[in-house]
Amino acid sequence: MMTYTADKDRYDGRMNYRRCGKSGLKLPEISLGFWHNFGDIDDLGEARAIMHRAFDAGVTHFDFANNYGPPPGSAETNAGAILKQDFSQHRDELTISTKAGYHMWDGPYGEWGSRKYILSSLDQSLNRLQLDYVDIFYHHRPDPDTPLEESMGALATAVISGRALYAGISNYPAELAVKAFKILRDMGVPCLIHQPRYSLLDRWIEDGLTDTLIEEGVGCITFSPLAQGLLTDRYLKGVPENSRAAKESGFLQRSEVEQEISKVIALNEIAQERGESIATMALAWTLHHPAVTSTLIGASSVKQLEENLQALKSPAFSKAELLKIDQALKG
């Protein structure tokens, strides 16, 4: 197998790094997510090439969760082997995150927000990733039945015990997020970051969460900025065979593609007028929001990653373009 030598010019200005809230940590504007494309069902040669290309482009943040695959856990196991083989000497240049919250193993302790689940899940993730610590450890979703103090207490223990450097939360609505921030602050482990879904097709965070994050000095990394591929040219001529919507995996539904495609076509026209692809416009648009630290993409090929990285060179949005985008989204 070929050995990997990182591009020595990877920090020559090709990537911008933004401060994460009021913390000392900077994140690349584009981060790489491992939800899909790194599982046992995927082409691991391509997966390895995606990691190499990303790092060479200055993408210093890789995002995992316990359940990424499929099967659950396999993304951490597969990428963990690649991290060990190719990135050991770059560990201190990488911000690696993982999460616990969704179903991971059977029985009463395999999901949600108990201390029992969260801390054993982190230990399992560290084993699979072959790492001593992760940089960011998230509670993946709020648990309506566990006291928030318990879930946040588990995150604080993860940090205080050295298994994680920072704590984060994901999918928390604004009001609950504020409570979580206070609990974490009181425990001496300020929340670094919130990870919500955000794209041209899902703007829920603009309704209170982003203002809260700015006020609280908490960073924001937006997931599914391409709406799982819908905001690219992938579905402009129907649903191609190897696409996420064709896989019937229950993540991106064909019906969602059919429902949204007229907006995508209108957005594509605006992107073309701007001289770029709809994917790069969609990514640049998420980065245009002042609350956003980084936008978290997925890619099933190096080619997709290459296109997505072009978002770093997107022209600034004029007021007229932003209005046109809002108009296109009204359908």
Ligand X SMILES: NC(=O)c1ccc[n+]([C@@H]2O[C@H](COP(=O)([O-])OP(=O)(O)OC[C@H]3O[C@@H](n4cnc5c(N)ncnc54)[C@H](OP(=O)(O)O)[C@@H]3O)[C@@H](O)[C@H]2O)c1
Q: Interface residues with ligand X (CB under 6 A)?
A: 33-37, 63, 140, 170-171, 195, 223-229, 232, 234, 243-244, 279, 296-300, 304, 307-308
Instruction: Kindly report the backbone phi and psi dihedral angles of residue 258, in degrees, each rounded to the nearest multiple of 5, phi listed first.
Output: -60, -40
Q: Least Å distance between CB 19 and ligand X?
A: 21
73 burial type by CB count under 10 A (0-12 exposed, 13-18 middle, 19+ buried): buried
Q: Least Å distance between CB 260 and ligand X?
A: 13
Nearer to ligand X, 240 or 315 (CB): 240
- Give the contacts of 113 (CB within 8 A, at least 6 positions apart): 101, 139, 142, 143, 145, 146, 150, 151, 154
Q: Least Å distance between CB 194 and ligand X?
A: 10
CB 220 within 8 A of CB 208: no
Q: Which helix (H) or strand (E) holds 195?
A: strand 191-195
Q: Least Å distance between CB 195 and ligand X?
A: 5
Nearer to ligand X, 77 or 224 (CB): 224
Instruction: Kindly report the backbone phi and psi dihedral angles of residue 166, in degrees, each rounded to the nearest multiple of 5, phi listed first.
Output: -140, 155
Q: Which residue in the shown chain puts its C-beta closest to ligand X?
A: 33
Q: Least Å distance between CB 277 and ligand X?
A: 7
Q: Least Å distance between CB 62 and ligand X?
A: 9
Nearer to ligand X, 234 or 324 (CB): 234
Nearer to ligand X, 181 or 198 (CB): 198
Nearer to ligand X, 126 or 227 (CB): 227
Query: Structure tokens of 75?
Result: 């993304």
Instruction: Kindly report the backbone phi and psi dihedral angles of residue 323, in degrees, each rounded to the nearest multiple of 5, phi listed first.
Output: -65, -40
Q: Least Å distance between CB 227 and ligand X?
A: 6
Nearer to ligand X, 9 or 306 (CB): 306
How many angstroms separate the CA atoms of 59 and 130, rounded? 20
How many angstroms separate the CA atoms of 296 and 316, rounded? 20
Alpha helices in the chain, H assignment, sequence order: 44-56, 74-87, 115-129, 148-160, 174-186, 209-216, 254-273, 278-288, 302-309, 319-329
How many angstroms separate the CA atoms of 16 and 106, rounded? 42
Nearer to ligand X, 3 or 135 (CB): 135
Nearer to ligand X, 241 or 320 (CB): 241
Q: Least Å distance between CB 3 and ligand X?
A: 26
CB 104 within 8 A of CB 72: yes
